[in-house]
Structure 1
Amino acid sequence: MSTLTELAEGAALPELQIDPISRTTLALFAGASNDHNPIHIDLDNARSAGLDDVFAHGMLSMAYLSRYLLTLAPQSAVRHFSTRFVSITPVHGAPTCSGTVASVGDDGTVELELAVRLADGTVTLAGRAVVEVAS
């Protein structure tokens, strides 16, 4: 993929802005993923757990980060992808996916450091990927 082959170690990648997480988004994701944990969709349940409101499924953030990765490279070029959940994404939070080139390998691969962040800079999901950029 040409954009990654032209980048050097430390280069910032274009960001992907995600619309604010709505209650509708959470309900639709619960149905699509079959994850109906009430802490993500039921305000009373979230409050009984000591929270102010519901929050997004961690796998929703991972889905957004996967979508972002596939804007950078085709799926066939992805050699490794891992994530670590760092913080919750509150309802109405507006995630942004971003990345930097962590290293450029001699084997035709690029290692990317990826993240999902909220507007205040809080990282909710950290990730790494290795992408093949040359055959």
Structure 2
Amino acid sequence: MAERRKLDYAAVREGDELPKFEVKNLTRTDIVRYAGASGDFNPIHHDQTFASGAGYPTVFAHGMLNAGFVSKCLTDYVGRPNLRKFSVNFRTQVWPGDTITCGGKVTRKFEERGEQCIEGELFAVNQRGEVAITGSFVAALS
């Protein structure tokens, strides 16, 4: 069972940034390992010939792999059991060799159904500053 992280609601401020999480130099092996773990063997993620035939310069990472990086950034901050809502939007591909930096910030504090909650926005960007993912979350801290 996941440990419930204790983030102090009173100490959290709107505008607080989540600690960054970085994945350096994503490899084809990382992508193939994710395919095996997820069962998503779409050849566009591991077959160079297929990816080229589809008009891409090379294979690229699964969107859900990148969403997993963002979710790690988030749950490292709020704790997995505290998460109430999590959503992402995929903006651009992540390629082998990319470095992905994930982060976010608290945009609102509120109380709902007896819980002290925070709401925020999330992102993942590559080393070129291109946004790969945007997202949002709600977490209960009490």
For normalisation by structure 2, the TM-score amounts to 0.88
CA distance in 2, matches of 1:4, 1:96: 26
Q: Give the equivalent residue in structure 2 for 1:11.
A: 16
Q: CA deviation at 1:4?
A: 5.8
Quick one: structure 1 residues 18 and 65, their matched pair in 2 at CA, closer, same or farther if it must change by over 3 Å?
A: same
Quick one: structure 1 residues 2 and 45, their matched pair in 2 at CA, closer, same or farther if it must change by over 3 Å?
A: same
What are the equivalent positions in structure 2 for 1:67-106 lying under 5 Å apart? 67-106=72-111
Q: Give the equivalent residue in structure 2 for 1:132.
A: 140
- Residue number among 71, 81, 97 corresponding to 1:66 in the alignment: 71
CA distance in 2, matches of 1:42, 1:81: 31
Report the RMSD for the aligned CA atoms in angstroms. 1.4
More strand by share: 2
Q: Give the equivalent residue in structure 1 for 2:123.
A: 115
CA distance in 2, matches of 1:128, 1:119: 22
Q: State the aligned residue count.
A: 134
Amino acid in structure 2 at the alignment position of 1:110: I
CA distance in 1, matches of 2:89, 2:42: 20
User: Where does the alignment leave 5 or more consecutive residues of structure 2 unmatched?
Assistant: 1-5
Is the partner of 1:2 in helix, strand or coil?
A: coil
For normalisation by structure 1, the TM-score amounts to 0.92
% of aligned pairs identical? 32
Q: CA deviation at 1:112?
A: 1.5
CA distance in 2, matches of 1:58, 1:79: 21
CA distance in 1, matches of 2:89, 2:78: 21
Amino acid in structure 1 at the alignment position of 2:7: S
- Residue number among 12, 17, 36 corresponding to 2:41 in the alignment: 36
Quick one: structure 1 residues 5 and 84, their matched pair in 2 at CA, closer, same or farther if it must change by over 3 Å?
A: farther
Quick one: structure 1 residues 94 and 5, their matched pair in 2 at CA, closer, same or farther if it must change by over 3 Å?
A: farther
After the TM superposition, list the runs of 4 or more consecutive aligned residues in structure 1 that deviate by more than 2 angstroms.
1-5
Quick one: structure 1 residues 3 and 55, their matched pair in 2 at CA, closer, same or farther if it must change by over 3 Å?
A: farther
**Contact kept? 2:70, 2:124, Cα under 8 Å:** yes
Amino acid in structure 1 at the alignment position of 2:122: L
